[in-house]
C-alpha cells in the first residue's frame, strides 16, 4: 500500500502553514500526528495534492495554564504528553483518567488533540471529553482566529465546523472548580480499540451529597457526541445514591437511539450506555456515594 503522490511542506510558523492552506489553490490537507490521516492515505481514501505538516511548528504544541485558570492545550500536543502531564493531572483529572483509553501507547506518542478533534470520529474520546468539560476550540486562518464551542464543533461523521482555510490552533478548557468529580468509562472489544460506546461525566455534590450540577457526555452512539440532558435532570437536586446513579443511567439510555453496525447492535449499545452512565457516576461519587435508605 502506497499513498498517492503529493507535494509536502513542513512550515515552522502557523502563518506559513495558513498561507499555504488558504492560498495554494490545491486540494491541501494539514497533517497532525497522522494516526488517522496517514492510514486513510495508505488506503488512498484520502489523496491530498498538498500535505502541510504541522509537526515542526513548536508554537502549536504544549500545555499552559492561564492566570484565570483556563488550561490551554496546543493543537499539536500529543495524547501521551497530556497523559503524563502533572498539570493536567492536577487541573483536569478527567483528561488524565481518559488518555490511556486512546488507542495504544505507540499511537498516543504521535497522535494529537487537534488531529483527533479535526478528524471527528464518532467513537473518539477527545470530542466527548471536550463536550464534558465545556471546552472551546480556537480555529485560525490567515484572516484571523475564532472560538468555537466544542459542542458546536463536530457536525457529523468526520465533519467539523472548520472552514477549508482554517486549522485548530488550540483548545481551551475552562477552570474546573475544586471538588468537582469526574468519571470516564468506555467499552471496546479489545484494549485500545475504538470504543463501542463511552461516557465522560462531571459531577458536583454539595456537603449533603446532593447533586448540584453534572454534565454527561456520551459517545459512540450517534454521528457526534451528545450531552444527556435526561440524565442531568434525573440527578439534579437529588441525593447521590447508587439507586440515583442507576436511574440516571436508565434516563440516558431511554433518550438515545444508537447506531447498529457490525461491532454492536443498537440494543446492545443502549444497554451499555445505561451501565456506563451508572458506572461513571459511581466512579465520580467515589466514597461519597451514599447508601440507599431502605
Partner 1 sequence: MTRLVDIALTVNGKPVTGKVEPRRTLADFLRDDLDMTGTHVGCEHGVCGACTILVNGASMRSCLMFAVQVDGAELNTVEGLAVDGKLTPLQDAFHRHHALQCGFCTPGLLMTAEAFLKENPSPTADEVRDAISGNICRCTGYIPIVEAILDAAEQLKKTDAA
- Write down the least CB distance from residue 54 to partner 1, Å: 11
Question: Which CB, 56 or 282, lies closer to partner 1?
Answer: 56
- Write down the least CB distance from residue 113 to partner 1, Å: 17
- Write down the least CB distance from residue 253 to partner 1, Å: 29
Burial of residue 62 (number of CB atoms within 10 Å: 0-12, 13-18, 19+): middle
- Write down the least CB distance from residue 106 to partner 1, Å: 5
Question: Which CB, 98 or 231, lies closer to partner 1?
Answer: 98
Cα dihedral 287, 250, 280, 127 sign: negative
- 121, three cell numbers: 470520529
Question: Which CB, 62 or 100, lies closer to partner 1?
Answer: 100
Beta carbons within 10 angstroms of residue 139's beta carbon: 22
Beta carbons within 10 angstroms of residue 288's beta carbon: 11
Rounded (5°) CA angle 57-63-66: 120
Question: Which CB, 83 or 170, lies closer to partner 1?
Answer: 83
Rounded (5°) CA angle 233-155-70: 65
Closest of 112, 91, 188 to residue 99, by C-alpha: 112
Question: Which CB, 173 or 184, lies closer to partner 1?
Answer: 184
Question: Which CB, 20 or 41, lies closer to partner 1?
Answer: 41
Phi-psi region of 265 (alpha: psi -120 to 50; beta: other; left: phi over 0): beta
- Write down the least CB distance from residue 109 to partner 1, Å: 4
Binding footprint of partner 1 on the chain (CB under 8 A): 1-8, 10, 34-35, 38-39, 41-43, 51, 53, 55, 80, 100, 103-107, 109-110, 190-192
- 108, three cell numbers: 498516543
- Write down the least CB distance from residue 58 to partner 1, Å: 13
Q: How many residues does the chain have?
A: 294
Alpha-carbon span 166 to 163, nearest angstrom: 5
Amino acid at each position: 500500500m502506497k499513498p498517492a503522490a503529493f507535494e509536502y511542506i513542513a512550515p515552522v510558523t502557523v502563518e506559513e502553514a495558513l498561507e499555504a492552506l488558504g492560498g495554494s489553490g490545491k486540494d491541501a490537507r494539514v497533517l497532525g500526528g497522522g494516526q488517522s490521516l496517514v492510514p486513510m492515505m495508505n488506503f488512498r481514501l484520502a489523496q491530498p495534492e498538498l500535505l502541510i505538516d504541522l509537526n515542526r511548528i513548536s508554537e502549536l504544541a504544549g500545555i499552559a495554564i492561564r492566570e484565570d485558570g483556563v488550561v490551554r492545550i496546543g493543537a499539536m500536543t500529543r495524547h501521551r504528553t497530556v497523559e503524563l502531564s502533572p498539570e493536567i493531572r492536577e487541573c483536569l483529572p478527567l483528561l488524565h483518567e481518559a488518555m490511556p483509553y486512546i488507542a495504544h501507547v505507540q499511537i498516543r506518542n504521535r497522535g494529537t488533540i487537534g488531529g483527533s478533534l479535526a478528524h471527528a470520529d464518532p467513537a473518539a474520546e477527545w470530542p466527548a471529553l471536550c463536550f464534558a468539560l465545556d471546552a472551546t476550540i480556537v480555529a485560525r486562518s490567515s484572516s484571523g482566529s475564532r472560538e468555537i464551542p466544542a459542542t458546536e464543533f463536530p457536525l457529523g461523521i468526520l465533519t467539523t465546523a472548520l472552514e477549508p482555510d482554517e486549522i485548530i490552533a488550540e483548545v481551551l478548557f475552562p477552570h474546573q472548580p475544586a471538588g468537582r468529580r469526574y468519571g470516564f468509562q468506555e467499552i471496546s472489544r479489545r484494549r485500545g480499540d475504538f470504543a463501542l460506546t463511552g461516557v465522560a461525566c462531571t459531577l458536583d455534590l454539595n456537603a449533603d451529597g446532593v447533586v448540584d450540577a453534572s454534565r454527561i457526555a456520551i459517545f459512540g452512539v450517534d454521528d457526534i457526541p451528545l450531552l444527556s440532558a435526561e440524565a442531568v435532570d434525573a440527578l439534579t437536586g437529588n441525593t447521590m445514591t447508587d439507586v440515583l446513579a442507576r436511574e440516571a443511567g436508565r434516563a440516558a439510555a431511554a433518550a438515545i437511539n444508537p447506531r447498529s453496525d457490525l461491532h454492536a447492535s443498537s440494543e446492545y449499545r443502549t444497554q451499555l450506555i445505561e451501565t456506563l452512565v451508572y458506572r461513571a457516576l459511581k466512579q465520580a461519587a467515589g466514597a461519597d456515594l451514599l447508601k440507599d435508605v431502605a
